Structure 1
Amino acid sequence: MKVAIYPGSFDPITNGHTDIIDRGCGLFDKVVVAIAKSESKNPLFSLEDRINLAQSIFKGNEKVEVVGFPRKLTVDLAKDYGACAIIRGLRAVSDFEYEFQLATMNRSLAPNIESIFLTPKESLIYVSSSLIKEISDLKGDISKFVHPIVEQALRASRHLALTSFTKKSSSLIDDRFTNSAFAFIAGLAFSSIYI
């Protein structure tokens, strides 16, 4: 069985990612979608949420396995799953230099594991998780860039963020009002003592 891993943060998973995964399934018997914890990237969705979203999208696809990616070398993860290849998506020429360095380093660490570069279809070449989050934050239409499950999750996270922000702002206003009122009353009391 030919296995490949497709590592990434997938925060959130986009139609560009799913297109790459589908293309990988055409080349390999199994594609392991390895979702990184990505603490340094300050992800919008928790690792568990990102895993659940990807699993929901590929539910019923026997060729796709979605796993959490612990902090370790990608080539070591590939070895754990008996993978012969690491799939990497390329969107633009600007991605190539970094990906080439990564592939060269991975080859020096594990010469028997190939790096396979795939591009999504042209209509998705410019789609990135960062852009999707920004469009979603600005209430733009992301329906053609992500699966409906992801769109719902982004809406829900935006709603939670707004609710949280509103509560914090309201609390801040209450605190400021209380502090200002207290200062005013204290000022009156202070001035009445010395009049």
Structure 2
Amino acid sequence: MRNVIYPGSFDPITNGHLDIIKRTAKIFDKVIVAVVDNPSKNPMFTLKERVELIKGATKDIKNIEIDCFSGLLIDYVKGKNISVMVKGLRAVSDFEYEFQMALMNKKLDENIETLFMTTNSKYSYLSSSLVKEVFRLGGCVNELVPDIVIEEMKKKI
């Protein structure tokens, strides 16, 4: 069985994230969307809320599982007994950061592979941070995030 982990903070999940999840789910038997609990960030949504938003946004995708973790990603991946993780790339700047992370993860465990998937070009500018900023300033984010996210963002602001 070919399983993969797609990690991220997903604060909130965007249509760019969904694009990567859907395309990855076509390639692998099972995709674990792993939400990281990173206390150094100041998230809009709690870890539990992010998990629930992802569940709502992906309810029609049958071969995914939503989970969360804290600590090193490599430890989480090894704990799941999976040897592949997928990372989405929007721009060259993403590649530079993710390439460094992939090399560090390879140093920590040479059996873990990182696959890079480029996003659909219509989402190449999209980030969770940008969505939150535009929303807080009164801009329209309707085509950037799932409807469930917009509903929950309205409750937060």
Using the TM superposition, give the Cα deviation of residue 84 of structure 1 relative to its aligned residue in structure 2, in angstroms: 2.2
1:61 matched residue in structure 2:
61
Residues in 2 aligned to 1:13 and 1:157: alpha-carbon distance in whole angstroms = 15
**When you count strand as a share of all residues, which structure comes out higher?**
2
Residues in 1 aligned to 2:140 and 2:114: alpha-carbon distance in whole angstroms = 34
**When you count helix as a share of all residues, which structure comes out higher?**
1
2:82 matched residue in structure 1:
83
Amino acid at match of 1:73: L
Using the TM superposition, give the Cα deviation of residue 60 of structure 1 relative to its aligned residue in structure 2, in angstroms: 4.0
| Contact kept? 1:3, 1:82, Cα under 8 Å | no
Deviations 1:13-68 (A, max 9, x none): 00011111111112211111110112110111000100000011112422110011
**What TM-score, normalized by structure 1, do the two folds share?**
0.77
Give structure 1 regions of 4+ aligned residues with deviation exceeding 6 angstroms: none
Unaligned runs of 5+ residues in structure 1 are 159-195
2:8 matched residue in structure 1:
8
1:72 matched residue in structure 2:
71
Residues in 1 aligned to 2:66 and 2:24: alpha-carbon distance in whole angstroms = 14
Q: Does the residue aligned with 1:41 lie in a helix, a strand or coil?
A: coil
Deviations 1:97-135 (A, max 9, x none): 111111011112121211011111111111000000011
Amino acid at match of 2:41: K
Unaligned runs of 5+ residues in structure 2 are none
In the TM superposition, what are the counterparts of 1:1-195 in structure 2 within 5 Å?
A: 1-69=1-69, 71-158=70-157
| Contact kept? 1:2, 1:84, Cα under 8 Å | no
Higher relative contact order (CA 8 A, sep 6+): 2
RMSD, matched Cα: 1.1
**What TM-score, normalized by structure 2, do the two folds share?**
0.95
Residues in 2 aligned to 1:109 and 1:20: alpha-carbon distance in whole angstroms = 25
Amino acid at match of 1:99: E
| Contact kept? 2:34, 2:66, Cα under 8 Å | yes
State the identity as a percent: 46
Q: Does the residue aligned with 2:35 lie in a helix, a strand or coil?
A: strand
Q: Rg bigger for which structure? A: 1
